[in-house]
Amino acid sequence: MSFFLEKETFLLSVKGLSCKKVLLLSRCNIFYNMSKLYITIGISGSGKSTYTQTHFAKEKIVSTDLIRLELSQNINEQKHNEEVFKIAIERLHKILQQSDAVLDATNIDLFLLDKLLTLFPKNDICFLVFRSNVGVCKQRIKSDLEVGKIRAATPEAVVERQAEKMAFLSSYLKDFGKEIIEIHS
């Protein structure tokens, strides 16, 4: 794949295809229209990370929890969320140049999802929606922490609030017009 800079747009030359204009993101990030972006949606403990690690190659997964761990050595640190998502977006764009990518994050905020879609308008996007019992999620978190698994120690009250937000979000997901795969875990 070769790129040619022409004023404020890029031309993309792909083997076997004619050149196409490709939109430019701020800071020179490029929108790619040949790869699929999978976005996980679900409360803490619903199995998002386990599922993505089982079904996708490690190098295709961008995990906001692991970026938090890189930045602060504390997976529970929420002070740097803006920077965490900036890094996640940059990594996703890089992966999408070559292949499909997965954003492994809770993603239960309607406005955040809308922003993600504006950052990847040319990609085929699929929501991986995780449906799980709140009690089961709380137990998974507790069990994972007891055995030393690297994961966020999400308090039970937060999991309950996430479940309420998830119920609200569910009624709007179809409005985005994207593919939805429901995973009951």
Same domain, 116 and 74: yes
Contact status, residue 151 vs residue 141, Cβ threshold 8 Å: yes
Question: Is the CB of residue 93 less than 8 Å from the CB of residue 29?
Answer: yes
Report the percentage of the chain scoring pLDDT > 70. Answer: 82
Both 105 and 173 in a single domain?
A: yes
Could you list the residue range(s) of the whole structural domain that residue 163 is in? 31-184
165 and 109 co-located in one domain: yes
Two tokens at 138?
A: 């709380």
137 and 82 housed in the same domain: yes
Instruction: Assess whether 85 and 58 both reside in one domain.
Output: yes
- Report, as an integer, the average pLDDT of 98-120: 93
Which tens digits make up the pLDDT trace of 12-53?
333 333 333 333 333 334 444 469 999 999 999 999 999 999
* CA 45 – CA 140 distance, rounded (Å): 6
Q: How confident is the model at residue 71 (pLDDT cuts 50, 70, 90)?
A: very high
Q: Band of the pLDDT at 65, cuts 50, 70, 90?
A: very high
Average of pLDDT values for 134-154? Answer: 95
Residues 165 and 150 in one domain: yes
Residues 16 and 35 in one domain: no
Q: What pLDDT is stored for residue 76 in this prediction?
A: 86
Q: Is residue 171 predicted with pLDDT exceeding 70?
A: yes
Q: Are residues 49 and 64 in the same domain?
A: yes
Q: Which two tokens stand for residue 123?
A: 């990609």
84 lies in the same domain as 2: no
Strand partners, 61: 102
pLDDT at site 135: 97
Q: Do 35 and 120 share a domain, yes or no?
A: yes
Per-residue pLDDT of 72-98, as tens digits, reads 998 888 888 999 999 999 999 999 999
Q: Which two tokens stand for residue 23?
A: 């939109």
Q: Are residues 57 and 14 both part of a single domain?
A: no
Residue 58 has pLDDT above 90, yes or no: yes
Count of domains for the chain: 2
Q: Are residues 37 and 22 in the same domain?
A: no
> What is the CATH classification number for the domain harbouring 159?
3.40.50.300
Give yes or no for a contact between 138 and 45, defined as CB atoms under 8 angstroms apart: yes
